Chains A and B, each alone.
Chain A
């Protein structure tokens, strides 16, 4: 009921394909059972081919989005290059663990391609920054149980970008329809070595 990570609702998912990755989220922002907005994106770009998904308490999602934007900008100035997904993952992890005994109530996921090698990378975290490396898919948010179910049954390795889009979209859409706190639209990013495609999906509006 007053669990901070399920007050606002929302979820995100990332998948690895053949030389590509996909990351997606729903668009709902609510206050308990009352839906407030259907344009609340939970996936944020960091450079060209790296993305961070943040689910959980909306206040912390906003705070961390800005915090990582600041840290990403400082990183770019210091290093004069874009941040790698692995590096962002470690940055997220250490930033969250700094708040070990008063955590941000979020479930972050990172997905991206290495800037030089284009090797796909995805990972997830718990709220205090423990990294969960995965080679197939990562789920997060109030529909995470449903997403696990959908991903386990739909996912197959080495999908081409178009097929990966279909898989992640179906997984997300069917998962959020079984969660009262998620849905109200969705956004999917498909990232390949020379192109990022963002698609906004229409979903059930109830």
Chain B
């Protein structure tokens, strides 16, 4: 029941992830960061099976960084990053023990100055979306996004939208998810921000 949300704004992408790490009925940790920075302009947020998530995220992170070193500091674009992750999950799906990890990739294409958001599930389903969520959070947030999202929103408007989502989730989700970490992926890279 982890929460991950993403919104593509005018000049950046917002990613929000719940702070609680839960196992069954217990909250084990209240400051869990469910994101990994892949390269300067790409952020991976993940949910799914306990052991698989971090293992997969760090595998992707390592490979993206390896690419960076091999290709003389050429960064993979958000689109290329997303296709790489999709390919890994789609290949894994038909292996003996598939990774059960769902991810959002928030990115910013420095060549075209366009922010990007990709929704990828453990099956390898990939879509680029203006706003996205995984799991139960999607049921509560999709309608809010549909109603209030505008494609020319600035950072402050995007944060307001996320605040609405978190408020709704706090009201509807059966357990306390300890709030969210919010990260902004923009022209200058990834930075954390207080909601």
Interface residues in chain A, defined as those with a beta carbon under 8 Å from any beta carbon in chain B:
7-8, 29, 31, 34, 36-37, 40, 57-59, 62-63, 102
Contacts and interface: CB of A to CB of B under 8 A. Distances in A.
B124 interface: yes
A155 B180 CA distance: 55
B129 A59 contact: no
B86 A62 contact: yes
B126 A62 contact: yes
A41 to B, nearest CB: 12
A36 B93 contact: no
B124 A62 contact: yes
Contacts of B119: 36
B139 A59 contact: no
A8 B125 contact: yes
Interface string B78-95: 000000001001100110
B71 to A, nearest CB: 22
- Chain A at the B interface: mostly helix, strand, loop or mixed? mixed
Nearest to B120: A59
Interface residues of B, number: 17
- Chain B at the A interface: mostly helix, strand, loop or mixed? mixed
Contact of A59 (B125, B138, B142): B125
B123 A102 contact: no
Contacts of B142: 34
Contact of B129 (A7, A37, A57, A63): A37
Contacts of B94: 102
B49 to A, nearest CB: 16
Nearest to B142: A34
B90 A57 contact: no
A58 B121 CA distance: 11
B173 interface: no
Contacts of A36: 119, 127, 129, 132
B105 to A, nearest CB: 15
A37 B90 contact: no
A37 B123 contact: no
Contacts of A8: 125
B125 A34 contact: no
A7 B89 CA distance: 17
Contacts of B123: 7, 57-59
A36 B89 CA distance: 19
